[in-house]
Structure 1
């Protein structure tokens, strides 16, 4: 029913839309998302072109219906990965509402875990929305929240 392919530079608009819709679904204000749109696009374009940002697009009948992005990021050795100075980071997990609950996000997360293993990573991280937490918990992800301080 669903097909999966790697993201490509031509997916820039799609990934930007998925990110906006993901944050809209989580209740973020439209004015904040509007302010983020161009800076995110400017950040993503070169990373997508170079392969630093990678991931997968889920399709139904040739039409994109979801996606997941991933990066390998420099991170100090940590209790979760004490001997490694990097971690995989998953972002922009999104599935169109009419396709949710059908295993698409689960399949995308499995692809990310497989890719992390293939790249020799010891640890993957993500920031979950409230809607995403039950899925990640079901898949064995630890539950926690990162604290932050907005300096602006």
Structure 2
């Protein structure tokens, strides 16, 4: 299994994995198409400038998993009182043919190592039901975050 960093050429791969992740979480095709139409132009400059980074797992020349990462601005907080950034994990995905082989765990370790390399001492993610048990097993825990969709 080869590990490589995400690059500017990976726009379609990230979009495909993101759609598949949300599809498996029960989102409709209509919502996924609208999301990707907005996500793609958001992603392009961030992959190019490195503000969206991460890794791809490649098996025999084919990408089989990936993870997106960001260092996001966040005010100093009791969880990270000396830092104004948090690591953010998103778009974790492993192709169905390669699941139950520890690849999700490997992607998460790569994320933690990269955050440490960048001196980010606190990280967050939003878990799907499918991923929740993996994250809990790796020491992640639920927070008090709440959300509400607002009308424009």
For 2:81, the equivalent position in structure 1 comes to: 82
Unpaired runs of 5+ in structure 1?
Answer: none
Q: Distance in 2 between matches of 1:72 and 1:144?
A: 19
CA deviations on 1:36-63 (whole Å, 9 max, x unpaired) are 1111001000000111110000111110
The separation in 2 between residues aligned to 1:20 and 1:149, in whole angstroms, is 22
- What is the match of residue 118 of structure 1? 117
The two structures, once aligned, show a CA RMSD in angstroms of 1.0
Q: Following the alignment from structure 1 to structure 2, what is the Cα–Cα distance between the partners of residues 146 and 95?
A: 26
- In 2, the alpha carbon distance for the partners of 1:29 and 1:145 equals 27
Task: Kindly report structure 1 stretches of 4+ aligned residues shifted beyond 3 Å.
Answer: none
**Structure 2 residue aligned with 1:143:** 142
Structure 1 pair 35/94, CA: closer, same or farther in 2 (3 Å)?
same
TM-score (norm 2): 0.96
Structure 1 residue 144 displacement after superposition: 3.5
Structure 2: runs of 5+ lacking an equivalent: none
Alignment coverage as a number of residue pairs: 151
**TM-score scaled by structure 1?**
0.96
What residue in structure 2 maps to residue 109 of structure 1?
108
